[in-house]
Amino acid sequence: MGSYVTQQWTPRATDGVPRRFTRSGSYQAFVPDSLLDHDLPLDPGVTMLLDEAESRAREAADLAAHAGLGQIGDLLVRSEAAASSLIEGYEPTPRAVAVADFVARGRESAVTVARTLHAVRESVERALDPDVSLVWDVVELQRLIAPRHAGVRTEPVWIGGRTPLEAHYNAPPHELVPGLLDDLDAYVASRRHRPVLAAALAHAQLETIHPFADGNGRAGRVLIGTVLARYGVAPQITLPVSTALFRDRERYYAALDTYRRGDQGVAIVTVVAEAVVAAAADALALSGQVTDWQSRQTDTLDAYLRDRSPTGRVRRGVAHRVVADLPTHPVLDAASVAARYEITTVAARNALDSLAGAGVLRTDRKADRTRTVYVATELLELVAEPGTPEAEGVEVAVAPVAPGPETACGAWLPRAGRACRLPRGHRGQHR
């Protein structure tokens, strides 16, 4: 399923470079065949897997109108962007990425993932526009992901090794890339194959073409989501497929490598279909976790306000509205809250301070020297691994029996943004 073309390599610079990297020579670059004529033989097991993947994805998408799942749409986008970047080796915390996204600055790794977050957000809306070319739209989205290397490459690229002479894989010559992208776009538009099958093959084909100098993996995984949306399988939400791919990344890498060597694509189709099944389950599980989290935070806020009320009564106000909207806006400041709810900046700051005092939000004064930023840290931790039990990702059990409110230590932990839950009189320092 492809052919090799002979290319010549001559290094541009040789001064100060080890001799083994300065030699010239010829190498073989792989050029994939068109998917428009591709017939993939599928055994009954793979066909059943594709049926399940599409069914589960549609089930998750159908529930997008439900308040629980519809509200976590942005969290799913964050999960997909974070996991797709994690596959490439970028490992900032979800909190760091969310803050960098909000204040438009931060450490390089966090800003890099925030760029991928912007691209995934853009893809969700643009995929539903029938006039948008999905493949060439990915080219535009790659400019958000890797602005320093934006656009279709104009030079050779390879995987592994310092030169193409010792590379593990050499992508097609750059002069062939525009035509290969046009062909891939025609395949996606043709709807020749069923949704998950088409998404997997389109992704593998884009990775094989390797059209960019940087950002190929992240841009290619965006294409999975846009194909599923365009084909009507998951039009309302972004399934965190990259999270599932990251869990089994060695098998994912192997499947792509097999496809690049001319395999028909059964391996990568199987891996992507299994990832779609897992992503749909993750989305549904995350919906329940977020609902539970909001309920607990509302109770915590009520208790905090009740303790400070002369009458012992709680008046539902802006702070409660903020809790309801945190899945969509997990990072806030006084100005954004004032504008969103049409209140004064003072009232917005009072609401945020109440949420911080109750431990629902944590303050971050280092993110921007001109303002105090408030972050729903515990909520964002769910993005790190959507669908896993909260106790595994956020809180570690420290005692056989959890102490009740009357026996817990209760000391305030500024870094954690909550009261100490260890038994009263425990040993060790608060951190």
Binding residues for ATP: 214-221, 252-253
Which stretches of 72-210 are assigned E, i.e. beta strand? 158-159, 169-170
Interior angle at CA 229, CA 393 and CA 97, nearest 5: 35
CA distance 241 to 274: 9
Q: Is 66 a catalytic residue?
A: no
- Which residue type is seen at 271? V
Which residue among the candidates 193, 203, 210, 320 is catalytic per the annotation? 210
Token pair 């068109």 in the structure block, residue: 34
- Specify binding-site residues: 214-221, 252-253
CA distance 121 to 99: 16
Torsion angle, CA of 226/54/204/143, rounded to 10 degrees? 10
How many Cα neighbours within 13 Å face the side chain of 242?
Answer: 29
DSSP string, 289-334: HHHHHHHHHHHHHHHHHHHT-TTS-----HHHHHHHHTTT--EE-H
- Which residue type is seen at 266? V
Residues 6+ apart with CB under 8 A from 34: 183, 187
373-375 vs 169-170, strand pairing mode: unpaired
Instruction: Provide the 3-class DSSP secondary structure of residue 204.
Output: helix
DSSP string, 176-198: GHHHHHHHHHHHHHHT-S-HHHH
Beta bridge partners of 76: none
Token pair 């995984």 in the structure block, residue: 221
CA distance 242 to 6: 34
Q: Helix %, strand %, coil % for the chain, to 5?
A: 55, 10, 35
Active-site positions read 210
